[in-house]
Amino acid sequence: MTCLPLGLSYKGEVLLAFEFAVFSGRFKLLSKDGLLATFSCSHHVNDATLLETISDALVDARRSARRLRRFDQAPDHPVLPTIPETEYFRGFLLEMMPGR
């Protein structure tokens, strides 16, 4: 039996496994002061879960980064509080930090 974070579907779990592998590889390749812009276009993965995946990948890559910016979907794609699926687009700009 697989335990998923609250509200995470099997599809979300598969997306996170893929994103973890991609992030970990990218973090290993980035220069010590490199920038990474990453985006998710799925309502199956929320901010907290995506950031946790990024954090886990940073630990795996033995790197440190800071979040410079968060991105949301454009106003012509409104988020409706009663329909969670409408909040599907999120992104983060990360700056690699020396250390680790």
Catalytic residues: 41
What is the DSSP code (8-state) at residue 32?
A: T
8: alpha, beta or left, given left = phi > 0 and alpha = psi -120 to 50?
A: beta
Q: How far apart are CA 97 and CA 100, in angstroms?
A: 9
Are 83 and 28 contacting, i.e. CB atoms less than 8 angstroms apart? Answer: no
